[in-house]
Structure 1
């Protein structure tokens, strides 16, 4: 069970890294990176699976539900922004990319610093 949790964590971090790195690289061109939609959906789904696995398992520590709720809200906002930018590439602005970038950094910061 712990191995599965670690694999999901790896995929979760990889998804956020795709969104973060891709957004940084394309900031100058004001376009959404190609892999951003796949990255955010990977991060969102694996995050939900990790919380479900930890909640259902006796071996793993129960998740902090307040932290999970805050991270989920931030992830859903980022998902909405990325879906909007993917459907309407002509509407992508530096502000939208900045919001995706800032909220991604916020979500990673919450994961690491909230104890």
Structure 2
């Protein structure tokens, strides 16, 4: 189970990296790259799976902070909604939308690293 958990962590980080990179590249000409949708779905699904594995096994040596996980999930769901909106309505994509996706991605990363 340890290997599966750590593999999910790697995939989770790659998913968020795709979202951040795809939005930063497209800030100048606002659009949602196709990889961003796949990245956010990867990050969302792997995050949920990681919590499930951590709760059901002894893979972690500490207890999970469920408040932190809930905040991260809400941010991830908002980012997912914004990406889906931008993907379905490309004519409505603005710099503000792409910037908010990038900003919320950085917020989610900061919560993961700084909230102890």
Q: What TM bracket, shorter-length normalisation?
A: over 0.9
Is the 2:5–2:59 contact (alpha carbons within 8 Å) kept by the matching residues of 1?
no
Aligned mates of 1:31, 1:40 — CA distance in 2: 15
1:37 counterpart residue number:
37
Partner of 1:50: 50
Cα deviation 1:28-80 (Å, max 9, x = unaligned): 11111120100000000000000000000034243210000000000000000
- Alpha-carbon distance in 1 for matches of 2:98, 2:13: 19
Structure 1 unaligned blocks of 5 or more: none
Structure-2-length-normalised TM-score: 0.96
Aligned residue in 2 for 1:114: 115
Aligned length: 115
Q: 2:83–2:101: 8 Å Cα contact kept in structure 1?
A: yes
Residues 52 and 22 of structure 1, relative CA distance in 2, 3 Å threshold: same
The yes-or-no answer on 1:102 pairing with 2:103 is yes
Give me the whole-angstrom Cα distance separating, in 2, the residues matched to 1:18 and 1:40.
8
1:67 aligns with 2:60: no
Structure 2: segments with no counterpart, 5+ residues: none
- Indicate the residue corresponding to 1:86 in structure 2: 87
3-state SS, counterpart of residue 35 of structure 1 = helix
What is the CA–CA distance in structure 2 between the aligned matches of 1:39 and 1:59, rounded to whole Å?
Answer: 25
Structure-2 residue corresponding to 1:12: 12
Cα distance per residue 1:90-112 (max 9 Å; x no partner): 00001101110000000000000
Question: Aligned-pair RMSD on alpha carbons?
Answer: 0.8
